[in-house]
Amino acid sequence: MEENKTDVAIEENEISVNIDYKMVTFTLAGKDYGINIMNVASISKADRFTFVPNTAPFVRGVYNLRGDIISIIDLRLFFGVEIAAKKDNEPENMVILQLEYGHLIGVIVDDIDRVVGVSTSRIQPSHPLFGDVNVEYIHGVVENNSKLYVILDVEKIFSMNPEAVDKQIEALDLLTKREQVAVSQEESINLDFFKDTLSSFMKFHVSPINMKWLKERARIWKQYREAEAKSFQLESPASATEFLLPFFSPYTGQFWSEEYISSIQKVLPSITSGIVQVWNPGCGKGFESYSLACMLKEHYSNMQIKVHAGDSDLLNISSAPALNFSKADVPQKYRRYVVESINGYQFNQEIKDTTRFEYHDVNNADHFSGYQIICARDLASFLTEEQQMQFFVTLTKKMKSGGVLLLGENEELPETGEWSKKVVGTITVYIKK
């Protein structure tokens, strides 16, 4: 394994008496970034890493750094920016970070520039304008010698500590209280009954995100059951399942139709360069993920597509990469991506390469962010209210500014000031501000 120590030049003007902050600077996709020199252990080059299976796409593997085995993260993949082509065996540029408690981690960047010294008084707060990086991960921005540097907060990016509850959770809690006040006493008794039984039988949790649907469904359900001289109460998993049938979004558990795909394409974000990063939590058996992959392959024809699909059902997520189906199940326009297999048909390698399936529980944190599209249809309603609150906080942190969030057809994102609602035809999405 090759390792070359890289000398880092010191900015000549750092002798200024006002300089009290130094940073190692580097580039990602042509933009300039900096990291506090106190977090930098060394600079290295390497051309081989040991692959680690079942890790996130941005994890390049592990590396033996003078006897220490450290994880290697590709910052370009982490932030979803374009990666320049390299020659075979050309070593990668790495910044070795020293984080809290002495933890070492290596990050791959395009080019390492130099050490730049500035005055902390010149460092400005972060701004959503820097869309390649989640604002939460930016310490600040500073101009030096006609270059604008985005200073990354690596402690936040790679922190292993639980995230603090923020203003979104407070806003969601307030909305829950308002919803309770708005319900009459008689309605409250009935709705509380539905809430308890749906939670018990189906793990479906009623909250502000689906309360509107529940009220209307409960009204229709009571009329329907009374007309048949039956109790409107949900007395078994079978009756609870029947009650929930109209809740699920179109084409749940099957490939999306051409008409539905056409509707979704009208609300996709404008992306002109880099990698299209998509998160599909709660992907089930993979029908939704492959529908997304085919749609995005056509919509962003000249760009690289990465669909990160996850589910907490181990059986479903294990079988998703080799999903078999009938050719007739796939919309005509996407059958060019289908190949025959022993047990029917599968998607070809081109589509499989865009989609990565992994076992993942959305209640457990991961460090990936920089998504432009998140498709989480009907997932939040099967989380507890507390988990829903944290999930929406996670969505906000992971989504790029201008990114598009697609929830279930009968789910609504509570207003917290972080998102704007957009309705096109029958499709409702939320745009990250």
CA distance 358 to 361: 10
Are 138 and 130 a contacting pair, CB within 8 Å?
yes
CA distance 433 to 419: 5
CA distance 8 to 122: 23
Q: Could you tell me the two tokens for 210?
A: 């689906």
Query: At the top level of CATH, which class does the domain 4-157 belong to?
Result: mainly beta
The angle at the Cα of 418, spanning 412 to 423, to the nearest 5 degrees, equals 45
What is the chain's alpha carbon radius of gyration, rounded to the nearest angstrom? 25
Tokens 């498709």 belong to which residue? 375
How much is the pLDDT for 166? Answer: 42
Are 57 and 308 a contacting pair, CB within 8 Å?
yes
Q: What are the backbone angles phi and psi of residue 187, rounded to the nearest 5°?
A: -60, -40
3-state secondary structure the chain: CCCEECCCEECHHHHCCCCCEEEEEEEECCEEEEEEHHHEEEEEEECCCECCCCCCCCEEEEEEECCEEEEEEEHHHHHCCCCCCCCCCCCEEEEEEECHHHCEEEEEECEEEEEEEECHHHCECCCCCCCCCCHHHEEEEEEECCEEEEEECHHHHCCCCCCCCCHHHHHHHHHHHHHHHHCCHHHHHHHHHHHHHHHHHHCCCCCCCCHHHHHHHHHHHHHHHHHCCCCCCCCCHHHHHHHHHHHCCCCCCCCCCHHHHHHHHCCCCCCCCCEEEEEEECCCCCHHHHHHHHHHHHHCCCCEEEEEEEECCHHHHHHHHHCCECHHHCCHHHHHHEEEECCEEEECHHHHCCEEEEECCCCCCCCCCCEEEEEECCCHHHCCHHHHHHHHHHHHHHEEEEEEEEECCCCCCCCCCCEEEEEECCEEEEEEC
How much is the pLDDT for 232? Answer: 83
Q: Does this model's pTM top 0.85?
A: no
CATH number of 258-432: 3.40.50.150
Q: Could you tell me the two tokens for 164?
A: 């603090």
pLDDT in tens, the chain (433 residues): 444 444 454 444 444 458 889 999 999 989 999 999 999 999 999 888 888 766 667 888 888 888 888 889 999 888 878 888 777 778 999 999 988 767 889 999 999 999 999 999 999 987 666 656 777 788 999 999 899 999 999 988 876 443 433 444 454 454 455 544 444 444 554 678 888 999 999 999 999 999 999 999 998 988 888 887 888 888 888 889 999 999 999 999 999 999 999 999 999 999 887 789 999 999 999 999 999 999 999 999 889 999 999 999 988 999 999 999 999 999 998 999 999 998 899 999 999 999 999 998 888 877 678 899 999 999 999 999 889 999 998 999 899 999 999 999 999 998 878 899 999 999 999 999 9
How much is the pLDDT for 250? Answer: 94
How much is the pLDDT for 55? Answer: 66
Are 319 and 288 a contacting pair, CB within 8 Å?
no
Sign of CA dihedral 339, 341, 346, 348: negative
Q: Cα 212 to chain center, whole Å?
A: 26
CA distance 355 to 10: 43
In the chain, where the domains are located? 4-157, 167-247, 258-432
How much is the pLDDT for 272? Answer: 81
How much is the pLDDT for 184? Answer: 47
